[in-house]
Amino acid sequence: MKNQTIIYMLMLSGLSDLPSLQLPLFLVFLLVYLMTLTGNLLIVLLICTNSHLQTPMYFFLGTLACLDMGCSSLIIPRLLFDLNTQKRLISVEGCITQIYFFFLFTTSELILLAVMSYDRYVAICRPLHYTQIMHWKTCVLLVSGVLSFSMVYSLVHTLFLLKLTFCSSTPLQSFFCDFPQFLQASCSDTFINIFLILFCGMFFGGGILALTFYPYIIILNTIIKMKMRSKAFSTCSSHLAVVFIFYGTLFFNYLRPNSNIHFAEDRVSSVFYSVLIPLLNPLIYSLRNQELKKSLKKALIGL
């Protein structure tokens, strides 16, 4: 460390070094960003303006849409700027800030998916007690608890990142400040950071995953006995699709061994969970949800 110069600016490798691809990539991701904002904002507006959608299930769905917009706005504008200017430089403090908010949004979304599983369990398996259990005060407290835990969880990781130093100008092998690539670029000992992400991934991630899927064991048994299965199954299948996609890409990137030699795969998975999932979520829920489609049709007719 004595003979190494500490640097305070990092370079991102981006998605591609080919000049011919910069403009097409810029246009594609600009379109993705606009569609993401439009789809999620439309869901939020429909829920706020339609009294039939002002239920706990749609309250959680609206919160999920807000988290998706936040995550997308954290990543894509910076990506568009880098594609346009090709500078790809970001300060270490800026990188850590981006990691903090990325952890905040993704952790909140993971826990919120577990809360949405519990909401579906109560609605399908205990319908007579649904209004008593999932009243508005409970919903607000649940979302507040999700955000509070996520802020503390993200802060713990980012505080340990503040102790890292960087001595090499080697670019981060990502198009944004993703946690694994950020650690790989450091010349400090990152054992505690790796231990924390693995421990939290196994302990908290595994626990949240169990809380997300366990209600569906009971839900599926209940749905099989129901006469009106289609509506219950449509809402559950939409939620499960989002859960599988989100967890699958996150586990692939964060808990996969030897990730430092799979740069191409890491970039693909990073694009998926940071850029495409916020776009896919409103599509998955709206296409499988009859009430949302009816509300959208009424809103379009009223224009």
In this prediction the pTM is: 0.88
Which residues lie below 8 Å from residue 222, measured CB to CB, with a gap of 6+?
A: 124, 125
Per-residue pLDDT of the chain (303 residues; tens, 9 = 90+): 455 678 888 988 888 777 888 899 999 999 999 999 999 999 999 898 888 888 998 999 999 999 999 999 999 999 999 888 877 889 999 999 999 999 999 999 999 999 999 998 998 888 888 988 999 999 999 999 999 999 999 999 999 999 898 887 778 888 899 888 898 888 888 899 988 888 887 888 788 888 888 888 888 888 777 655 555 666 677 777 778 877 777 777 666 655 555 556 667 777 887 888 888 888 877 766 777 777 777 776 665
The domains located in the chain, with CATH, are 9-302 (1.20.1070.10)
Q: How many CB atoms lie within 10 A of CB 302?
A: 6
Which residues lie below 8 Å from residue 48, measured CB to CB, with a gap of 6+?
A: 54, 62
